[in-house]
């Protein structure tokens, strides 16, 4: 494997994937329509701007480069928006992956690592969540990702395209060596919001509910460093290259932190007061989501290396040096 196609490589997690592949000496081609991604985040790779749903565009890219494997991050990912506009999510996420798989089939590319989500599980039946647990998404975002996992399974059977679907828990952090990080507009994720409050860009953080059945009443999530996520993708690609079986894998640290614990850790890391107030619950938030990462450890040989303080301190380095993200 030499040349890797990263779809959505200008986005938050995709750009960290590109940085790792470039560091490891791969030739990297990024396709991205830049509707939410940033060209400035693509460092050391070729960028072709276009939409996955455009089959001619993908045909051109697959003809131009000798692609050995694909990593697909390209998707809309706002849970709330997916509830109010499900067709936008099915139309982009599912149709984009279908178009990518069609191009792979036509060009004889047989390996894909797919960016899936813990939202595929919906309300968990137990903690920590294992890959064999019930998958009943409670929003269209999770449903589109699960639908794509189904499409991958059938494409494996029919065309021999091998896949690893990686179900992320809460991605956070930044790559301070390369100078890339999280820049969403609007921002909805907890850690960047907390750090924007530390920077004075927001006057406070709203804690969405403190009456959950958790030790301090706030929701518990499993935060995983984006660089650890990227490492898992590379291991998954290498695993498929060695003939590994297709499958789905959880990617999380296996440890849960509450919203209040995140804010407290951020206060410690930044030295800033970070005002916070309790607000009503956000619709659709499960109280606890913690990954079992046993399968990824055993099958892929993955071990997350960075804990919560490192996640927040790397994110802080990014946000404090790029208060306006990548800028205009």
* Closer by beta carbon to ligand UDP, 247 or else 256: 256
Residues 291, 169: contact at Cβ < 8 Å?
yes
Candidate segments 42-50, 68-76, 101-109, 199-207, binder of ligand UDP by CB under 6 A? 199-207
Eight-state DSSP code of residue 138: S
* Binding map of ligand UDP across residues 159-178, x = CB under 6 A, - = no contact: -----------x--------
Q: What is the DSSP string of 31-91?
A: EE--SS--GGG--SSEEEE--TT-HHHHHHHHHHS---EEEE--S---HHHHHH-HHHHII
Question: Exposure of 264 by Cβ count < 10 A (0-12 exposed, 13-18 middle, 19+ buried)?
Answer: middle
Closer CB to ligand UDP, 107 or 189, in the complex: 189
- Which residue's CB is nearer to ligand UDP, number 119 or number 237? 119
Number of residues that make up the chain:
328
Reduced to 3 states (helix: H, G, I; strand: E, B; else coil), residue 243 is: coil
Q: Does 207 bind ligand UDP (CB under 6 A)?
A: yes
Note whether 195 binds ligand UDP by CB under 6 A. no
Site for ligand UDP contains 229 (CB under 6 A): no
Is residue 221 close enough to count as binding ligand UDP by CB under 6 A? yes
316, containing H or E segment: helix 308-321
319 touches ligand UDP by CB under 6 A: no
Total residues interacting with ligand UDP, rule: CB under 6 A: 14
**Separation between Cα atoms, residue 234 and residue 285, nearest integer Å:** 30
Q: Is 206 in the site for ligand UDP (CB under 6 A)?
A: yes
Kind and range of the H or E run holding 318: helix 308-321
Closer Cβ to ligand UDP, 57 or 168, answer by number = 168
User: Closest residue to ligand UDP, Cβ-based?
Assistant: 219
Query: Per CB under 6 A, does 259 bind ligand UDP?
Result: yes
Return the structure tokens found at 42. 């693509």
141 is catalytic: yes
Interface with ligand UDP, residue 188, by CB under 6 A: yes
Cα–Cα distance for residue pair 91/176, rounded to 1 Å: 35
When asked if residue 65 is in the footprint of ligand UDP (CB under 6 A), the reply is no
> 3-state DSSP: the chain helix, strand, coil percent, rounded to 5?
40, 20, 40
Phi, psi of 303 (to 5 degrees): -140, 115
Residue 155 binds ligand UDP, judged by CB under 6 A: no
* Cβ nearer to ligand UDP, comparing 15 with 170: 170
Give the Cα separation of 87 and 242 in Å (integer).
37
Comparing CB distances to ligand UDP, the nearer of 206 and 244 is 206
Rounded alpha-carbon distances, angstroms, from residue 56 to 51, 73, 179: 10, 20, 33
Of 45, 129, 146, 193, the one binding ligand UDP by CB under 6 A: 193
Indicate whether 226 belongs to the interface with ligand UDP (CB under 6 A): no
Site for ligand UDP (CB under 6 A): which residue of 285, 295, 322, 326?
A: 285
- By the 8 A CB rule, do 261 and 216 touch? yes
Considering only 282, 283, 303, 321, the residue that binds ligand UDP (CB under 6 A) is: 282
Q: Is 190 in the site for ligand UDP (CB under 6 A)?
A: yes
Choosing from 86, 208, 254, 272, the residue that interacts with ligand UDP (CB under 6 A) is 208
Nearest distance from C-beta of residue 18 to ligand UDP, angstroms: 23
Residue 175 to residue 18: CA distance in whole angstroms? 11
Catalytic residue among 121, 141, 223, 239: 141
Residues contributing to the site for ligand UDP (CB under 6 A): 170, 188-190, 193, 205-208, 219, 221, 259, 282, 285
Catalytic residue annotation? 141
């Amino acid at each position: 494997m030499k040349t890797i196609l990263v779809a959505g490589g200008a986005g938050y997690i995709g750009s960290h994937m590109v940085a790792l592949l470039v560091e490891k000496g791969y030739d990297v081609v990024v396709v991205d329509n830049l509707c939410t991604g940033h060209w400035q985040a693509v460092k050391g790779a070729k960028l072709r701007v276009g939409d996955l749903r455009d089959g001619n565009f993908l045909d051109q890219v697959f003809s131009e480069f000798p692609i050995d494997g694909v990593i697909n991050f390209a998707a809309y990912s706002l849970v709330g928006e997916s509830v109010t506009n499900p067709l936008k999510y099915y139309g982009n996420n599912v149709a984009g992956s279908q178009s990518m798989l069609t191009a792979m089939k036509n060009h004889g590319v047989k390996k894909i690592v797919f960016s899936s989500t813990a939202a595929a599980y919906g309300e968990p039946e137990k903690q920590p969540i294992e890959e064999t647990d019930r998958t009943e998404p409670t929003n269209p975002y999770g449903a589109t990702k699960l639908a794509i996992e189904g499409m991958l399974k059938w494409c494996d059977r029919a065309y021999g395209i091998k896949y690893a679907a990686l179900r992320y828990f809460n991605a956070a952090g930044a790559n301070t060596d390369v100078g890339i990080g999280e820049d969403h507009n609007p921002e909805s994720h907890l850690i960047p919001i907390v750090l924007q409050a530390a920077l004075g860009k927001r006057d406070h953080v709203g804690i969405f509910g403190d009456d959950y059945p958790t030790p301090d009443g706030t929701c518990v999530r499993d935060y995983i460093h984006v660089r650890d996520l990227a490492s898992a993708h590379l291991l998954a690609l290498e695993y498929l290259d060695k003939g590994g079986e297709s499958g789905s894998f959880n990617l999380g640290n296996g440890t849960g932190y509450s919203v209040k614990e995140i804010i407290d850790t951020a206060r410690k890391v930044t030295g800033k007061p970070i005002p916070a107030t309790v607000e009503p619950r956000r619709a659709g938030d499960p109280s606890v989501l913690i990954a079992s990462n046993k399968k990824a450890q055993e099958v892929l040989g993955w071990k997350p290396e960075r804990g919560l303080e490192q996640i927040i301190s790397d994110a802080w380095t990014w946000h404090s040096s790029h208060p306006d993200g990548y800028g205009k």
